[in-house]
């Protein structure tokens, strides 16, 4: 399968890329690692006359630590994220998401911005972005805006990105002490497979009372977009972090938060059951990583 012909543009700055996007409009597509886009072009699922590559814009591939947050450039690859000390130390669930995505070859090309803009409900880095309360950084030639990642996804393959906007990165607040997170994905094979269910959880407890003070749970592959399990999160707040509480949160996530469908990868019932199991497991490991007792 050959790629159809197109004009290739390689701007060196974000400003030049934004100007090109504005000029070429609907006749241009943004290219990051190409692991989704080039496949779609080859299969003729989409067509375009112009590709604007973002790969040579250096600031888009940086991981920058600021005072209370870390900014991840949209073109940072899975391999870069996985080997970054600050990601390993502070954002373990992002690292797990990156390590689970595709093969070594794919992880060397695939970017976190591309994963978000592709907006698959099953995307491997998306639940982690949700539980770390990431802000998506969007720019056009006229404006810049930051929106909570929870508002970024609008449907399968759809995001709130405007026609002339580029996703430049994500800002993630650095999690506090006594907090931890974990991500688990379940597919039919161990790698290079679209997830059947993927879950990430973040937990913070008060060392004085021992109670849960922050809880964020995100579910993938069980709704039209990756979603937060709001009811399960609320139920866990103020609870003592222990197996029965995690099991109860899993039950609520399973019964009340997810909206799975049947497809050839799994039935809705199986997906629901797995939401319960993975929610409980991710919460237990998140608590352990927060310094709590191993359950
Ligand atoms: C063999 C194989 C295995 C895979 N396995 C997995 C897996 O296990 N888990 C998983 O989640 N995904 C998987 N994928 C899908 C893909 O690798 C990921 O979604 C990847 O993160 C996409 O990033 P990219 O940089 O390659 O995006 P691209 O293909 O370059 O772009 C994807 C889309 O996002 C748009 N875009 C990219 N960057 C920006 C930006 N900064 N601003 C605005 N729009 C932008 C593009 O225009 C395009 O529409 C796999 C793909 C392949 C081919």
Question: Pick from 122, 157, 173: which residue ends a domain?
Answer: 173
Per the prediction, the chain carries an average pLDDT of 95
The best mutation among 40, 106, 164, 194 to test binding of ligand 1, ranked by most ligand atoms within 8 Å of the C-beta, falls on 106
Nearest to 123 by CA among 44, 214, 235, 198: 198
Give the whole-angstrom CA distance, residue 49 versus residue 39.
16
Q: State the pLDDT at residue 32.
A: 98
Percent of the chain with pLDDT over 70: 97
Question: Pick from 115, 144, 173: which residue ends a domain?
Answer: 173
Q: Is residue 135 one of the residues assigned to a domain?
A: yes
Q: Is the pLDDT of residue 132 over 80?
A: yes
CATH number (domain holding residue 242):
3.30.390.50
Q: What is the pLDDT of residues 13-70, one digit of tens each?
A: 999 999 999 999 999 999 999 999 999 999 999 999 999 999 999 999 999 999 999 9
Q: What is the pLDDT of residues 31-46, one digit of tens each?
A: 999 999 999 999 999 9
Rg of the chain taking only CA atoms, in angstroms:
19
CA-to-CA separations, 259 to 116, 145, 234, in angstroms, rounded? 20, 30, 18
Centroid of ligand 1 to alpha carbon of 111 (angstroms): 6
* Angle at which helices 243-252 and 268-289 cross, to 10°: 150
pLDDT band at 190 (very low <50, low <70, confident <90, very high): low
Residue numbers of the domain that contains 242: 179-289
User: pTM of the prediction?
Assistant: 0.96
For 285, the 3-state DSSP assignment is helix
Q: Is the pLDDT of residue 2 over 90?
A: no
Residue 280 and residue 193 in one domain? yes
Q: Is residue 76 one of the residues assigned to a domain?
A: yes
Q: Is residue 2 one of the residues assigned to a domain?
A: no
Q: Ligand 1: residues within 6 Å at CB?
A: 29-37, 39, 54, 74, 101-102, 106, 109-111, 113-115, 117-118, 123-124, 161, 166-167, 192
Q: If you average pLDDT over residues 73-95, what whole number do you get?
A: 98
Centroid of ligand 1 to alpha carbon of 5 (angstroms): 21
Residue 193 and residue 280 in one domain? yes
Question: What total of structural domains would you count in the chain?
Answer: 3
Which atom of ligand 1 is nearest to 115's Cα?
21
pLDDT band at 234 (very low <50, low <70, confident <90, very high): very high
At CB < 8 A and 24+ separation, what contacts does 88-93 make?
90/174, 90/175, 91/128, 91/132, 91/172, 91/175, 91/181, 92/180, 92/181, 92/182, 92/183, 92/289, 93/127, 93/128, 93/131, 93/132, 93/181, 93/182, 93/183, 93/200, 93/201, 93/202
CA-to-CA separations, 167 to 71, 103, 128, in angstroms, rounded? 12, 24, 17
For residue 253, the 8-state DSSP code is: I
CATH number (domain holding residue 20):
3.30.43.10
DSSP secondary structure string for all residues of 254-281: IIII-----BTTB-HHHHHHHHHHHHHH
> Whose Cα sits closest to atom 5 in ligand 1?
102
Q: State the pLDDT at residue 266.
A: 82
Q: Is residue 295 one of the residues assigned to a domain?
A: no
Q: Is residue 250 one of the residues assigned to a domain?
A: yes
The best mutation among 114, 115, 152 to test binding of ligand 1, ranked by most ligand atoms within 8 Å of the C-beta, falls on 114
Give the whole-angstrom CA distance, residue 46 versus residue 251.
40
Q: Which helix (H) or strand (E) holds 148?
A: strand 144-148
Q: State the pLDDT at residue 1.
A: 77
């Amino acid at each position: 399968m050959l790629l159809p012909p197109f004009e290739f543009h390689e701007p060196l700055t974000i400003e030049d890329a934004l100007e090109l996007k504005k000029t070429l409009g609907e006749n241009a597509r943004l290219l990051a690692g190409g692991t989704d886009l080039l496949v779609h072009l080859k299969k003729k699922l989409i067509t375009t006359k112009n590709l604007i590559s973002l790969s040579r814009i250096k600031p888009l591939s940086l991981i920058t630590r600021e005072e209370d947050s870390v900014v991840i450039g949209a073109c940072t690859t899975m391999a870069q994220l996985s080997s970054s000390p600050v990601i390993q130390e502070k954002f373990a669930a992002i690292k797990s998401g990156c390590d689970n995505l595709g093969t070594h070859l794919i992880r060397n090309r695939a970017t976190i911005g591309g994963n978000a803009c592709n907006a698959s409900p099953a995307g491997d880095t998306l639940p982690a972005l949700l539980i770390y309360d990431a802000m998506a950084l969007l720019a056009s030639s006229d404006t810049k805006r930051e929106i909570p990642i929870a508002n970024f996804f609008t449907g399968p393959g759809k995001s709130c990105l405007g026609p002339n906007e580029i996703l430049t990165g994500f800002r993630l607040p650095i999690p506090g002490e006594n907090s931890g997170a974990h991500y688990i994905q379940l597919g039919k094979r161990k790698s290079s497979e679209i997830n059947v269910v993927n879950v990430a959880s973040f937990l913070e407890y008060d060392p004085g009372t021992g109670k849960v003070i922050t809880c964020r749970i995100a579910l993938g592959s069980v709704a039209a977009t990756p979603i937060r399990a709001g009811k399960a999160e609320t139920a866990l707040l103020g609870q003592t972090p222990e197996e029965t509480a995690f099991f109860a949160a899993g039950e609520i996530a399973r019964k009340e938060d997810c909206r799975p469908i049947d497809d050839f990868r799994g039935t809705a019932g199986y997906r629901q059951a797995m939401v319960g199991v993975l929610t409980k497991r991710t919460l237990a490991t998140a608590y352990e990583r927060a310094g709590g007792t191993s359950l």
